């Protein structure tokens, strides 16, 4: 707290919660990437929109960079503060502000965890459908900043589809009230959608109005053992034809091995190469008969060699744990992650090329992959050998990522599906966006944040 800039900040905003404690700096200065050494100037915890505006105005005037901070569960380095930035944590702005039963909207502060949003919707007999494994720790502001997807995109889409309005503080400290919850609003550029997915480079979300929907009918979860990669898409095509899908996820035997070592239960007597976990409507006898028919057909065709269907909520949760526990189980191995996407129709050809590329590129590394087959999003995790220097490991992985980017380009895919560009993916932004697009993105950034203080170095 001896830095004169912090003295000035506290003088201008009396009562602002500020810390330079080394533990706080380390905790709030990094995200799940763990590749950069945290080195923030300080952490501040504003408790209101007025305090956020005051902090940004001070930073704009003082020329101090800002890193907005939520749950920091991202995997692209988007919440890293490694160069003396001021971390603006939204932890204290974590309340539900209002519910409108006619509009079926929930207005919340940005620091509220996703799971708390889901629970609040449930209390009103409704559903906020965006969902993923980090629901208990990720925050809605970060979900919006990365346009988070998750496991139910196949039915409900990404976060973008559920944001009816936003209040945002720009890089100059100006407060914008975007769309105001309107369903129809043909009044020019929808700036709300510029903010969604902007990774904190345009401003800080300080309030969000979220659309809710009716709860789905009762569902069941089915776990399937699939013998070969080329059968995955056949199973998916039949599932989409026969069932009303909530989710359709896959993972490999390597992923299962790590989750089992982390405490999950073995689902089958034998080990298989690929697994599918799918959730689908099971509202009546007709739906259950369709599920049984789907399973029997897949067995007859040889696309599936074993399977189990949930008979209780506890069993459904146990089956989902096999998929949702993968990221946590891999964390101790400091994985290098790629989060890529292609069109659903391009998945089979891309997966075949990708498997050959990974086998050749990482002959001595363990590669664990899983993903959201139903929306074309695949997660590739390369595990670091314990005896390999981290810098050397990253260097080798980035070489193969460059080859992977070329493969993605041939299939019209993206190097980042749902975790943003951040620091990790920045070298490959040009593989997804044209020079003209990037130039327009820079111009937009300059208009919202003329001094470049908002999450600098990320994305662009």
% pLDDT > 90, the chain? 89
Q: Exposed, middle or buried, 284 (CB in 10 Å: 0-12/13-18/19+)? A: exposed
Q: Which residues pair with 308 in a beta bridge?
A: 223
Rounded-to-integer distance, Cα 245 and Cα 150, Å: 14
pLDDT band at residue 53 under the 50/70/90 scheme: very high
Burial of 328 (0-12, 13-18, 19+ CB in 10 A): middle
pLDDT greater than 90 at residue 119: yes
What angle is formed at CA 447 by the lines to CA 445 and CA 451, rounded to 5 degrees?
A: 75
Would the pLDDT of 374 be above 80? yes
In which order are the strands placed within the sheet that holds 17-19?
A: 17-19, 42-45, 86-89, 66-69
User: Which residue intervals of 29-113 are DSSP H helices?
Assistant: 49-62
- The Cα–Cα gap between 16 and 123 comes to 33
Q: How confident is the model at residue 142 (pLDDT cuts 50, 70, 90)?
A: very high
DSSP 362-419: -TTSEEEEEEEGGGTEEEEEEEPPTTS-HHHHHHHHHHHHHHHHHHHHHTT-BSBSSS
Tokens 């997966």, residue located? 351
Percentage, residues of the chain above pLDDT 70:
100
Instruction: Report pLDDT for 362.
Output: 87
- Closest C-alpha to 52, from 93, 97, 82: 93
- Asked if 424 and 31 touch (Cβ cutoff 8 Å), the reply is no
pLDDT digits (tens, 9 = 90+) for 399-429: 889 999 999 999 999 999 998 999 999 999 9
Is the per-residue pLDDT at 75 higher than 90? no
DSSP class of residue 47? -
Supply the pLDDT for residue 55.
98
Q: Could you give the CA distance from residue 251 to residue 266 in angstroms, rounded to a whole number?
A: 14
């Amino acid at each position: 707290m001896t830095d004169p800039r912090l003295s000035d900040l506290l003088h201008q905003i009396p009562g602002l919660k500020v810390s330079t404690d080394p533990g706080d700096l380390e905790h709030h200065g990094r995200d799940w990437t763990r590749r950069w050494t945290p080195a923030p100037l300080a952490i501040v915890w504003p408790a209101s929109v007025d305090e956020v505006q005051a902090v940004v105005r001070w930073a704009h005037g003082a020329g101090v960079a800002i890193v907005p901070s939520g749950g920091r569960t991202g995997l692209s380095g988007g919440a890293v503060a490694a160069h003396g930035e001021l971390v603006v944590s939204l932890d204290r702005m974590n309340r539900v502000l209002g519910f409108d039963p006619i509009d079926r909207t929930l207005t919340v502060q940005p620091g509220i965890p996703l799971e708390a949003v889901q629970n609040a919707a449930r209390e009103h007999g409704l559903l906020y459908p965006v969902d993923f494994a980090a629901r208990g720790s990720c925050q809605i502001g970060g979900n919006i900043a990365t346009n988070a997807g998750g496991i139910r995109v196949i039915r409900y889409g990404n976060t973008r589809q559920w944001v009816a309005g936003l209040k945002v503080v720009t890089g100059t400290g100006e407060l914008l009230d975007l769309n105001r919850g309107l369903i129809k609003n043909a009044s020019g550029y929808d700036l709300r959608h510029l903010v969604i997915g902007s990774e904190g480079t345009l401003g800080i979300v300080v309030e969000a109005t979220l659309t809710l929907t009716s709860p789905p009918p009762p569902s069941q979860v089915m776990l399937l053992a699939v013998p070969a990669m080329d059968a995955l898409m056949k199973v998916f095509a039949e599932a989409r034809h026969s069932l009303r899908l909530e989710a359709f996820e896959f993972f490999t035997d390597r992923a299962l091995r790590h989750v089992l070592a982390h405490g999950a239960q073995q689902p089958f007597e034998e080990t298989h190469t690929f697994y599918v976990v799918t959730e689908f409507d099971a509202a009546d006898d007709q739906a259950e008969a369709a599920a049984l028919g789907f399973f029997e057909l897949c067995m007859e065709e040889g696309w599936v060699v074993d399977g189990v269907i949930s008979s209780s909520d506890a069993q459904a949760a146990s089956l989902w744990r096999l998929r949702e526990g993968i990221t946590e189980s891999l964390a101790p191995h400091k994985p290098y992650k790629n989060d890529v996407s292609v069109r659903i129709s391009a998945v089979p050809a891309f997966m075949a090329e990708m498997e050959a590329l990974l086998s050749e590129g990482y002959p001595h590394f363990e590669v664990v992959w899983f993903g959201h087959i139903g929306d074309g999003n695949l997660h590739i995790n390369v595990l670091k050998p314990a005896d390999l220097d981290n810098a050397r490991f990253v260097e080798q992985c980035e070489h193969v990522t460059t080859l992977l980017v070329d493969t993605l380009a041939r299939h019209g895919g993206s190097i980042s599906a749902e975790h943003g560009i951040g620091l990790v993916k920045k070298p490959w932004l040009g593989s997804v966006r044209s020079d003209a697009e990037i130039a327009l993105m820079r111009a937009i950034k300059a208009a919202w944040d003329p001094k470049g203080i908002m999450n600098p170095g990320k994305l662009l």
